[in-house]
Amino acid sequence: MVAGIEIRLLHILAEALNFHLTIMNPSDGRKWGQPMENGTWTGMTGDLTRRKAHMAVANYFIHIHILEVVDMTVAYDMEFGCFITPLPEPLPQWVALIYPFSLPVWLVTLLLLGVGTVLLHITSLLSHHIIPSQDNTASASSPSLTHNVFYATGIFFGVGMPWLIQDLLRINKHGAKSTSDINLNKRYEVLRVGNADRLIRKRKDPNENEFKFVASLEEVYVTSQI
């Protein structure tokens, strides 16, 4: 049984123009056909030149030599050629975290992370000396740079600081899978100072010392199941 897009198109034309369609293979079995030394053609092209067929349909390509003996319609299909290569080797697991993004994206991200960490540390140092503690004196312990580095990195990855290292190891364990597909189980979320401010202001008689104490905290961790 002969089938294909060209055969379907011929049946549509036969129905629309009301003519009888008879499909046959090339008389000499040479498919598309090739030119001979005496100027004749074999295959379907030869059947057309010898008037054995009215039309030939196949995966024909417009060629100058064929146009010398037959006529062609406009192109109705286009094919794309390509080379093939063996499948690439699987990527190592250590690139699972960095592979989803390009090098410029990571460079800009690390630059902004470094600048943001420095600004966060400067802000915490200023707040340490400007905002008094509950007893109206400066806090005894100054914020550490290590704490601010982990805090900024936790904000970047969207996780709480106590579980930052575990989440990084969990991402690496998933191999080359995109980090966007990894569901990180956040066990802690940060209660911002602004949220604490709103909670205290909802009280009818907010305690000023209590408000100053909560405002001096950098973050308050509350347990949650997400």
pLDDT in tens, 39-58: 888 988 889 988 888 888 88
Point out the domain boundary residue: 67, 84, 105.
67
pLDDT at 108: 92
pLDDT at 212: 52
Within 8 A by CB and 6+ apart from 96, the residues are: 171, 172, 174, 175, 176, 177, 179
Residues 37 and 98 in one domain: no
- Which backbone phi and psi does 204 adopt, to 5 degrees? -65, -45
Residues 98 and 30 in one domain: no
Domain count, the chain: 2
Q: For 132-165, what is each residue's pLDDT tens digit?
A: 655 555 445 566 778 778 777 777 777 655 555 5
Q: For 63-122, what is each residue's pLDDT tens digit?
A: 888 888 898 888 887 778 889 999 888 878 777 778 888 889 989 988 988 888 888 888
Residues 137 and 218 in one domain: yes
Give the Cβ contact number of residue 16 at 10 Å: 8
Residues 202 and 121 in one domain: yes
Residues 146 and 193 in one domain: yes
In a domain, 80, yes or no: no
| Cα distance between residue 50 and residue 28, in whole Å | 12
In a domain, 208, yes or no: yes
In a domain, 109, yes or no: yes
In order of 112, 117, 139, 161, 223, the CA distances from 189 in angstroms are 23, 20, 25, 10, 7
pLDDT at 187: 38
Residues 150 and 213 in one domain: yes
Q: Whole-model pTM?
A: 0.35
Task: Give the residue numbers spanning the domain of 195.
Answer: 93-223
Contact (Cβ atoms closer than 8 angstroms) between residue 150 and residue 121 = no
Contact (Cβ atoms closer than 8 angstroms) between residue 207 and residue 196 = no
